[in-house]
Each structure stands twice: as C-alpha cells, then as structure tokens.
Structure 1
Amino acid sequence: MTTRMAAPMSVTTESLAPSRSTETACFHCGLPVPPDAPYAVVIDGRRQPMCCHGCEAVAEAIVAAGLTDFYHHRTTLSRRPEDLIPESLRGLELYDRPDLQKSFVRVDGEHTREAALILEGIVCAACVWLNERHVNALPGVLEFRVNYSTHRARLCWDERQI
C-alpha cells in the first residue's frame, strides 16, 4: 500500500469560525481566543492562535503526527472537549470530596496523595502507553502507572497543584 501526503496548503478558519469581527477565533475549535492567551501552534509554516491548552495540545499532536491534512479537509470546526463528555461523567467532581476520597486515596506525606483506580476500556498496550504518557505530563502528577492485565492504575499527585 502506498501512502501519499498532500502538498502543504494554506488553511484559514474564517469561513468556519463564529462571526465575531473583533475577536480572534481559535484555529482548532473556532471559539474566541482570550486577548492575552499564550497558546499557538505553527501549522504549515503559519503561527495559528489557540484558545486554550487543550486545543494547543491537540493541534500539536496533529502536526507532530503529520496529519495537518485534517485542517485542510475538515468541513466543520472541532468539538470542544467538554461537549464530548457524557452527562454521566459530568458529576465526577463528587470524587474531589475528602470524605469520599477516604475509600480510595491514601495520604503519603504532607501533600502527596495516591489513588488506586479501576480503568475500563483499556483494550491494548498502546492505550496504556498513551494514558501513562499523557497523565504523567500533567502538572502536579508525580506518577501514573497502569497495569494492563488487571485494568488497575495507581496515581500519585501533589495535592497543592491539582
């Protein structure tokens, strides 16, 4: 099988972006970019504004994977992460309550916490690798390890940062 990459081309999101004449639209999702937002990604040689760290991270991943054709061929703007969260997951803030954390979080030092978690939906070792890389890169995370065979994870974090 032969894979052919399309030649780089300029892409704008003006036709896809919300019509706000005084606001800059996020290149990835189209929402307004806050005036002092430091987020941007170079896509096809042009610095494109991003509204948040999430859009910046996804755009960087798209560029790093050589998938910028995504931006050339899309017909609608990307959905916001919060729009993708099922209603059943929106109540997870409940687990931030100290009284509930007693059942699955261990205090390990003055500010270090360790949680034992059960993960559903892990279907391959690549899922484990991707989750470990992503979570370990988050500010305040000290260590995140997933056991593929048991679908259990251990998360250690600095509670001052998270």
Structure 2
Amino acid sequence: MTRILIIDDEAPVLAALRRALRQRFGAALQVETQTDPHEALARVRDEAFDIVMSDLRMPQIDGLSLLTLVSSLRPDTVRLLLTASADFETAQRAINDAGLFRYLTKPWLDTELAAHMEAAIAEAARRRPAVQDPHEQERLRLEALEPGLTHVEWGPQGEVLMPPLNPG
C-alpha cells in the first residue's frame, strides 16, 4: 500500500482529490489530507509517507516552502506541487529547491491526475529501501568491513578451500 499526504487550505479541493484517487486506486492508495500545513509537517515528522502533494498558495506557508521542509525531513518522499497558477519561475524553484517530482495544475483532469499519481507511486516504490532479513544485513556489514570474508569456496568433501598464497 502506498501512503500519500495531500495538503491544501481548501477542504473542497481535498475532498475532490480524495474522491478521484479513491475511484482510480481504491485501497491500494491510503490518502490522508490536511488543511493546515503546520499540522501536515507534524504528521511528516511522525509518520513516513511515500508521497506528499501540496497546494502552492496557502495563507500560512506556501507549498514550495512546505515541500522543501518535507524534503529535509524525509528525503525519499516523492513530492508533488499542485497549483492554479503555473509559471516557469515557480516550477524551476520547485524542482531545484524542493526536489519536486511533478508539477500539477488546477483544475486537473482525473485522467491526468491518475497518470501523475501512477508515476509517483512507481517512483515511491523505486525509492523505498529494500527490506532485508537481519542475517543478510549482518553479512553485508561484515563483507563491507572485510571484503571476501563471507565468500567461501568448498571442496568435494565439504572442506574449505583456501585461496592460493602466491597469486601470480
């Protein structure tokens, strides 16, 4: 399941986004919404979200500043900006300062929203660290300390074969 946090100071916009995403993705996408960007930041501090989408123009803090803070708290989170006023300078700042993945405009078409969200979900999956069992993590740690330590060559009777002492 992919978790997304959407921040917009307009509750009807949040309801429309939630509805559109629920229709397209169902239970595969867990959607949380916030109208208050400061509460949203507290949620990001407390919980890991795969994707964070924010409106650009909000009274307390603009979405670009919010996504820049999200980037510093959770660098692997995929960040999207939603705005009614698309301009090149804002898009450039969003990409450079907040590491923005996508820039969406209001009003959106549900098909475009779904396509952007599918791309964001795929990117989130790519960024998600692979889960390893504790034994594999320890093997990798030891191998990093002493390369070759965990690579053993076995002989036909189960004996450990040593590498030649004088390679050459």
Structure with bigger RCO (C-alpha 8 Å, 6+ apart): 2
Give the TM-score, by structure 1 length: 0.28
TM-score (norm 2): 0.27
Compare CA radii of gyration and give the structure with the larger one.
2
Structure that is richer in helix per residue:
2
